[in-house]
Amino acid sequence: MYDTRQSASAGPLVLYAALNRTSPDGIRVGLSVSRRIGSAVVRNRWKRRLREAFRQVRSRLPAGNDFVIVVRSGEPPAGAAGARDVEAMIAALATRVVGRRGYADAMPRPRDDAAVKPKRRR
């Protein structure tokens, strides 16, 4: 997903997108909320907020795409207005990424296996 280099950001969110070539009618989402965002309570609050926002905007998103939402910083927006803000951000970012010229042709860049270090065994 990250290798296709198709992303957009707004506020605390970054959205990565790629065509879902295995199931062209479906939409999938992945969430990435790092430990540096805060405690487990804060991270789980973000994930709940993002899952619910995704459910609300799923019908407005273009079919046949996979999305990964990465949280960069801060507390999740609170209240009903905060939920609407997150929904609007997700919908706008998805439309912006998918609407870019060359999005449908984006393929993951080739990886150089020599550049990837093997994991050290313990």
Q: Is residue 108 part of a domain?
A: no
> Which among 92, 84, 30, 24 has a CA at the least distance from the CA of 56?
84
Q: Is residue 104 part of a domain?
A: no
Class of residue 7 by CB neighbours under 10 A (exposed 0-12, middle 13-18, buried 19+): middle
Instruction: Decide: 106 and 17 in contact? Cβ < 8 Å.
Output: no
Q: Is residue 116 part of a domain?
A: no
CATH of residue 84: 3.30.230.10
| 26-44: pLDDT as tens digits | 888 899 999 999 899 999 9
pLDDT of residue 20: 79
**pLDDT surpassing 60 at residue 2:** yes
Q: Is residue 112 part of a domain?
A: no
Q: Is residue 18 part of a domain?
A: yes
Pick 24 or 54 by higher pLDDT.
54
pLDDT of residue 108: 60
Does pTM surpass 0.95?
no
| 52-110: pLDDT as tens digits | 989 998 888 888 888 888 998 878 888 888 888 888 888 888 888 877 776 766 666 55
Give residue 33's domain range: 2-98
Structural domain tally of the chain?
1
pLDDT of residue 79: 85
